[in-house]
A and B are shown apart, each in its own frame.
Chain A
Amino acid sequence: MKRGANVALTREIPGLTGLVLGMRWSTGAERVLEESLVFAAILCGADGRARSDQDFVFFNQLSSPERSVQQLEEALGGDQEQIEVDLAAVPAAVDRIVVVLYVNEIPAQRRTLGQLRSCVIRVLDGRDNRELVRSEELASAFSAETAVALGEVYRHGGDWKFKVLGQGYSKGIAGIAADYGIPL
Chain B
Amino acid sequence: MIPDPATAPPRPDLPFLRHRAKPRPPAPTPAAQFVAGRGPHPPHGHHPAPPAPAPSLDLSRPAAPAPASSSLDLSRPATPAVPVTTGSLDLSDPPAAAPPATGRATAPARAAAPALRVHRDRRVAAGQQQLLTVTTPTVTLTRVQSGVGHLEIEAVCSPEVGDLRLGAVYQLATGENSTVQYAGGERFAPAKARRPVLLAGRDAYEHLSIDLRQVRRLERLAVYAFSESRTPLTWGGTLVATTFGGARIELPLESLYEGTVAVLMSIYVLDGELVIRAEMETITGDVREAARAYGYDRITWRDDRHPVD
Partners in one complex: yes
Q: Which residues of A contact B (CB under 8 A)?
A: 31-32, 35-36, 38, 51-54, 56, 58-63, 65-68, 70, 73-77, 89, 91-93, 104-109, 127-129, 173-174, 177, 182-184
**Chain B, interface residues (CB within 8 Å), range:** 35 or more
Q: Are B108's CB and A91's CB within 8 A?
A: yes
Q: Is the interface of A mostly helix, strand, loop or mixed?
A: loop
Q: A36: which B residues are within 8 A, CB to CB? A: 213
In the bound assembly, the distance between CA atoms of A77 and B125 in angstroms comes to 38
The segment from B87-95, B99-107, B283-291, B295-303 that touches chain A is B99-107
**In the complex where A61-B144, A66-B103, A173-B148 touch, is A104 in contact with B108 (Cβ < 8 A)?**
no
> In whole Å, how far is A98's beta carbon from the nearest beta carbon of chain B?
15
Q: Are A92's CB and B17's CB within 8 A?
A: no
B211 contacts chain A at the CB level, 8 A cutoff: yes
A-B contacts, 30 of them at CB < 8 A, read: A51-B110, A53-B144, A53-B145, A58-B147, A58-B148, A59-B147, A59-B213, A60-B143, A60-B144, A61-B272, A63-B17, A65-B110, A65-B112, A66-B103, A67-B17, A67-B21, A73-B13, A74-B2, A76-B3, A76-B5, A91-B105, A92-B108, A93-B109, A104-B213, A106-B213, A107-B209, A128-B6, A173-B148, A173-B149, A182-B144
Q: Are A70's CB and B17's CB within 8 A?
A: yes
Q: Is the interface of B mostly helix, strand, loop or mixed?
A: loop
B262 contacts chain A at the CB level, 8 A cutoff: no
Interface residues of B in 47-75 (CB under 8 A from A): none
Q: Are B144's CB and A183's CB within 8 A?
A: yes
Besides the known contacts A36-B213, A93-B110, 14 further A-B residue pairs in the complex with CB atoms under 8 A apart: A32-B195, A59-B147, A60-B143, A60-B212, A63-B20, A66-B105, A68-B105, A73-B14, A89-B106, A105-B150, A183-B125, A183-B245, A184-B243, A184-B246
Q: B209: which A residues are within 8 A, CB to CB? A: 106-107
Q: Are B116's CB and A53's CB within 8 A?
A: no
B215 contacts chain A at the CB level, 8 A cutoff: yes
Q: B13: which A residues are within 8 A, CB to CB? A: 73
**In the complex where A53-B143, A53-B144, A61-B144 touch, is A106 in contact with B149 (Cβ < 8 A)?**
yes
Q: Which 7 A-B pairs have the closest CB atoms?
A: A184-B245, A60-B147, A66-B105, A104-B213, A61-B143, A53-B144, A53-B142
